[in-house]
Amino acid sequence: MKMVIAGAAGRMGRTLLEAVLRDAAMTLAAAFDVAGSPLLGRDAGETVGAACGVTIESDARAAISVGECLIDFTRPEATIAHLEMCVASGSRMIIGTTGFTDAQKQQIAIAAERIGIVMAPNFAVGVNVTFKLAEIAARSLGPAFDVEIVEAHHKHKVDAPSGTALRLGEVVADALGRNLKEVAAYGREGITGERDAKSIVFHSIRGGDIVGEHTVIFAGEGERVEVTVRSQSRMTYALGALRAAQFLSARGPGLFNMQDVLGLA
């Protein structure tokens, strides 16, 4: 499968390049980054110690046009621009970007009527199994248990809570028959009063080089259940993205997630 990597000079981009170059079933067709990136014109493989003959370029449209599938872990505005290019070229798309508005999510859904897309807040296989475990815990423990979600990431992450934390909140809220937008709360400060029994509260930690940690706490009377997943390497996300690309290779248009890819839906 001919792969294209967006944001190739970034931390996640370099990890994706390494994963693609190591996978015998994948071919790196193109890699691109924003204009002004110091790595433009360099061999994409050099960033991971394995020259491959593919140059990092700034022309996203040209790069997308030569591939079969784009992997995009960039930022919402860039991903939406790339989405239009993928539709125009008929390229499939793996979207790991988070922080989309509702309107942008709608644009992605409309595009999925023409191309195959896997979009997920987190592509790590373990994290997606955790989504399922959180759902099972919420259904089994029920409304008597208070729900708090704690997530931690590196100091460079620009959005909070993380997309993964928000997805965990959605999974738990759905299992409990709640609307997350109505019950979500974010941190605490000062005299807050007694906890709302239906609330799902998010707490975000940012510091150092933490790759990603998420814990859902179900706190009941005399008992507490915690579901935790810790990612030690960005490679877990990259390998999940490649698994999603392989999933799309046998499918037509549609909007899928990692639960579909892993058969957990």
Residues 161-178: what's their mean pLDDT? 96
Residue 214 known to be catalytic? no
For tokens 């609330």, what's the residue?
199
CATH of 2-119+234-262, one of 2.40.50.140, 3.40.50.720, 3.40.449.10, 3.40.50.150: 3.40.50.720
pLDDT at res. 50: 83
Can you give the pTM of this predicted structure? 0.82
b/e map 4-15, b = 16+ CB within 10 Å: bbbbbbbebbbb
Q: Residue 147's pLDDT is what? A: 98
Residue from 82, 105, 154, 157 carrying the catalytic annotation: 157
Active site residue 181: no
Domain regions of the chain by residue span: 2-119+234-262, 125-231
Catalytic hit among 153, 156, 181, 214: 153
Predicted confidence (pLDDT) per residue in 2-29, tens digit = 999 999 999 899 999 999 999 999 999 9
May I ask the CATH class of domain 125-231? alpha beta
The DSSP-derived string for 92-136 is: EEEE------HHHHHHHHHHTTTSEEEE-S---HHHHHHHHHHHH
Res 47: pLDDT = 80
The structure tokens 């029920």 sit at: 142
